[in-house]
Structures are given as C-alpha cells and as structure tokens.
Structure 1
Amino acid sequence: MNNIQENGALGAQKDITERMRESLGKGVVALQRYNILRSNHPDSVVIAMEGDDDPIFYQTVIKQIKPCLQWKPFVCNGKDKVLELRLYLNRNLSEKKHKTYYIVDRDFDDAKGHTVGQDLYITPTYSIENLLVTEDALEQILSGEFRCIDDDSAKQEIILTFKKLMSDFYKAMELVNRAIHYCRKKNIKTNSIENSLKKYVTVSLDGIEIKYTESDIAKLIGLPDDFEIEKLHDTADEFDKLDPSTRWRGKFIYAFFIAFLTQLKEDRCNKKPKYFSEKKSINFNPNNTMVRALTAASRAPECLRIFVDSITP
C-alpha cells in the first residue's frame, strides 16, 4: 500500500510538472529541482527562498523562534522564481498538501503584483542584509570579535564614527538607489546591477569617497547608455519617503558594513591604533561567515516570528 501511495504521489508531481512546463518557461528548472526535493522529503515542510545566503540567515533565526520545526530550504535563484513556483503550486495543490512556504525580499517592488497570503513572507526591509547592519550588531561584534568588552569609551567612539560614515554613505549612494527604485516602479528591465562597492565609493574610517558620476549610473545598474537621468523625478516623491537604513538596497549597506569592519580590524591590529586603546591580534575576518555571525547578533522582526509560528508541520 505504501509503495502504491508513493508512486501515486510521484505520478501526481510529474503531471503537475507537465502542466506547468509551458507557462513556467525558464522557471521549469526550479520546478524540477523542487520535485526532486519533494520526492526525497514528501512529508517535510519546504521553505522556498531567493539566494544562497538566505538559508544561512533563516536557519539560524527559525531555530531561535521555533526550535522544534523541521524544514528543508529550497533556493530558487531569484525572487521571480520563488513567486512563480508559489503561483503554480498553489494553482495545482492545496497548501496543506504540499507544505511549502515562501520567503522573498521586499526590494523596491514588494510582491510584484502577486497575491499575498499566510504562506508568503516578505521582509519588512529591502532585504535581509538591512536587518543585519545595526548598531546593536556592531556593539556585539566589538565586544566579541574585536575583544573590546571592557573598553566602553572606544566602543562609543567607534559607534559614533559608524553612524557618521553611514550617513555619508547614504548621501553618496542616493542617486544609485533612486535610479534602481525608478526602474522597479516603472517596470524597466535592467541587466545585472554592479554589486562591487569599489565601483561606487571608497570606504575608510576617515570618510566616504564617491567614485562614480551621473554619467556612470546607466552602466552601473544595467540601463541603456542613452538613459535620461532627469526621468528619476517621476518617482522622486515616493522614493524620498523611504528610510535609507531599511528601504534602500541591502547589498550595498551590507558591503559598506564589511568594508567598515575590515578597516576597523586593520586599526585594531595596528601598533598605534586610532580607535582602540591598544593593539590586539584578532583572527576575525569580516569577509568570511559574517551572515551567520550578524544573524546571531541581530533580533528577528516580529512579523517573521509570527510567520514562523504559523508554519504547520
């Protein structure tokens, strides 16, 4: 009987794949991978998400919120593919049957016109990276990784420096974020956005140096060379209402934080440090495993706690 049931379930999944193949287009690869995962774990909760860093963040946070929850992450490689998978599975199976939940970043385009529901979590910030870069996280890293637990004056000065640099960074990156926001709101397709922070700014503990000009914007975010920068005024009112720390592009903010910590490490290991009372050797590498470390130092937003609590095994 069990074999018959298992074969029937696999057959149903194959039928769904065939029915969706034409409409999914490129997303059919994600569906095929999903079916392989589901056939190996037919009774497990599956949470579909966008990218490779997402499981690192959500595995840590979900374990804090609901330790007993057993689930499998499924990386779709993009927001559109997560939403497409949800759309087609929900058309063919009830949520109770396929036990699949979905997580996407809010970005500048929210749910992209898709119906929201209890099975879909959208970050309250642009992305998870915005949740990781906070003063509290910095203070914990200073006390732990930077071995600065008893040096309150140093921590206070560093946090003030961080806040000043962050403010300058937002000013430096405003035009870039404004352009990306415009493209998302006007549904303008762009090629790959340049994520290397060095193309935009140089970060040091002394200040932020802007490396790009207005004429570089089109190339940096993948727009045609003849894009008219004046068009950004069309969405200016909406963009100006956004809080930079929570609603601007998280990858840029995260990259700034890593650059800041890297500079800070150099100062900590200097014979005559500027921001610390004395030199100390530390093995901490800001460029490695920071997502997990920052997740542990951050607090999950209440909306995520509610979402996780609602997941039914």
Structure 2
Amino acid sequence: MSYLEKLRKSREKSQVAYAEFALHTKKGKDGLFCFFEGNDNAYYVPRIKRFTDNYYPINCGGRDKVLEVYRLITIHAEYDKYKKAFFIDRDFNEPLPPHNPPIFETPCYSIENFYASVDVFKEILKNELHLSEVSDEAFQVCISLFTQRQQEFHQATILINAWYACLIDIRNKTGNQTGVNLVDKLPKDFIHFTLDSVVQKYDCETIKHKFPQALEVPEDILNIKLDEFTSCEQYKTFRGKYEMEFLVTIIEQILQDSSNAQKYIKHKIKFTFGDKLSNEQAISLFSVYAETPETLNDYLILLHSKDS
C-alpha cells in the first residue's frame, strides 16, 4: 500500500468513528462516549471503569483522526448534551491548547511510555514472572539488566527519535507531510539487542536509505534536537512504541536465558504467556501495572463530576 493510500484509509477511519457515534445517539444510548487512538482502550478502559461502567469505546485510528472526529462532533450543537471523552498521544507535537469540551493528551510521547519505567518493570517481575524482591537473586539481576540495557537502548535510539521529532516539527510548521509511516518496531538491523549489550548499527545515511521519501532534515536542526534529547527524561520523551519494544524484548530475552543458557538467570522462570509478546499484547497484559498520570485522573474526575 502506498503512502497516499494509507493517508486515504486513515481519513476513512475518522468518518467511520463519527458514524458509529452518530448511530449510538440515534439508538438513544446514554453514557460516556470514549474516542481512542488505535487500541489504546486497553490502557484507558480499566482507568475509566474506576468511575463508570456505562461507557462506549470508539476506535478512531491515530491522533489526527481523534481530533478530526472531535471537530466533526463539536460543530453539531445537537451532540453537546452527550458525555464525551477524547484521548490522544502527544507524540512529538507541542501540547494542545485548552479545548472545550476538554481533550486528554498524554504528558509523555504516548501511552506506551507509561509502561517503560523501572518501577513498572518491578511490578511485572513480581506479579507476572513471580520473582520475589527479597528472596530471589534473579529479581535484582533483572533490575540491573533492565537499567543498564535501557540506558544503552536510549543511546542507540536517540538518533532516530531526534530525526523523527524533527520531521514532526517541520510538518507542523510547513504543512508538508513527513513522507514516513513508522511501524511498531525499529527497522530491522538498526540495533543489536542482547542481554549483554544494546548496540547502534545505523547512522543518518542508513535512515535516508530506509526512508527515501522522508523530508530533508537540516544537520543543524538535527543537532539541536539531539542536544535536547540528551538531557530529557528519555523513557517518557522517546517514541512510545520503541520504548514498549524495549520492554517486550528484554522480558523475552530474560525468559529465554532462564530456559536455555542461564547466563544471568540461574533457574527457569515460568510465564503464562510463553516467551513471545507483541506490543499490543503487552499493552493489555501489563495495563494494571502501567503508570497513571495525575492529569488523567483529573480528567476522569472532571468527566465523572459532570456525570453526577
């Protein structure tokens, strides 16, 4: 599928989401209508259900599609009476200005970043891999591996993150499309990831070869972004799907080591779901352990207060 065809398909998603909402209202449904990017409802729904069980999840596609559905709904005054919640990732964009009705925007890159901290990893070790923080040596070994490899992972991915962030900046300033449609995982062979180390295997020329249709990023602009990304909270700032890829990969490699080489983990760790996970599976499976920002709690409390 060409880049233009993908754009056309994404536009269709917003129309379908809007039509689904309109159909709900025609059938007299009354509850909280929740508009999500992709499959983000796996993260949001357990948090929404703390406040209400009367909700309707609607998948819009990407960030721009949620905003397009928001526009389609808010231009019709007859929809003002319905309770609505809109959830988007910030990505590499500037924060949205205040909207009425309000929109929730992640304070980090995306929901996947809520899974990427060492504290979340500790919860996964304790509750999914069943390692004791006080009696299992493997627990501390895993924490050490996570912190060391994550630091190396960030060093190895800072270039592609900075480059893509520059593309978003250029797009937002000029209106030109980036020419890039990133998938969930890093391009094959961009890094070499083992429990021993994470090594960068690409450079600017590799990126240009991989994404020949991408906008040109001036070297001075890229260097400014690299400086900015060197001193930020990287697990929150970098592209969330890559952060989730790190989490999934290190869990897989820990499980494989415990089953085979036992170089780091000296006994087999049992994991109900085997030793292979997709990003989407991880979002659902580990949702209960993921961070919940105060801004999200505030947003849901505000919606609940209007419902009372």
Question: TM-score, normalization: structure 2?
Answer: 0.82
1:69-80 maps to which residues of 2 (within 5 A)? 69-80=53-64
| Partner in structure 2 of residue 55 of structure 1 | 41
Partner of 2:116: 133
- Counterpart-to-counterpart distance in 2, 1:116 and 1:110: 14
Relative to structure 1, is the Cα distance of residues 91 and 159 closer, same or farther in structure 2, using a 3 angstrom cutoff?
Answer: same
Aligned counterpart in structure 1 of residue 75 of structure 2, from 61, 83, 91: 91
Alignment CA distance shift 1:80-1:206 (3 Å)? same
Which whole-Å CA distance do the structure 2 matches of 1:138 and 1:235 have between them? 28
User: In the TM superposition, what are the counterparts of 1:229-268 in structure 2 within 5 Å?
Assistant: 229-233=219-223, 235=225, 238-240=228-230, 242-268=232-258
Tell which deviates more after alignment, 231-240 or 243-252. 231-240
| Residue deviations 1:236-270 (CA, integer Å, cap 9, x gap) | 56555532111110000101111111000111223
Mapped to 2, the partners of 1:242 and 1:217 lie a distance apart of 23
C-alpha distance in 1 between matches for 2:240 and 2:152 = 16
Question: Equivalent residues in 2 for 1:138-153 (5 A)?
Answer: 138-149=121-132, 151-153=135-137
Q: Name the structure 2 match of 1:166.
A: 150
TM-fit CA distance, 1:100: 1.6
Secondary structure of the equivalent of 2:149?
A: helix
Q: Does 1:309 align with 2:264?
A: no
Residues 226 and 179 of structure 1: CA distance in aligned 2, closer, same or farther (over 3 Å): closer
1:296 maps to 2:296: no
Which residue matches 1:196? 185
Q: 1:95–1:37: structure 2 CA closer, same or farther, 3 Å change rule?
A: closer
In structure 1, distance between residues paired with 2:145 and 2:167: 33
2:164 partner letter: I
Summarize deviations over 1:212-241 as a string: whole Å, max 9, x none: 221122354564486654542465565555
**1:217 counterpart residue number:** 207
Which deviates further from its counterpart, 34-43 or 131-140?
34-43
Cα displacement string for residues 42-99 of structure 1 (whole angstroms, at most 9, x for unaligned residues) = 31210111112x1111112222x32x34211111111111112212322222774132
Name the residue aligned to 1:44.
31
Question: Contact 2:122–2:143 (CA<8 Å) still a contact in 1?
Answer: yes
1:193–1:222 CA contact under 8 A, matched in 2: no
Greater C-alpha Rg: 1
For 2:146, the aligned partner's letter is: F
Deviation at 1:102, TM superposition (A): 0.5
TM-score, length of structure 1 as denominator length: 0.80
Change (3 A) 1:302 1:82: same
Unaligned 5+ runs, structure 2: 1-10
Identical aligned residues as a percent = 24
Q: Deviations over 1:282-301 (max 9, x none)?
A: 43335053212321112311
RMSD: 2.7
Shift of 1:40: 3.9
Aligned twin of 2:159: 175
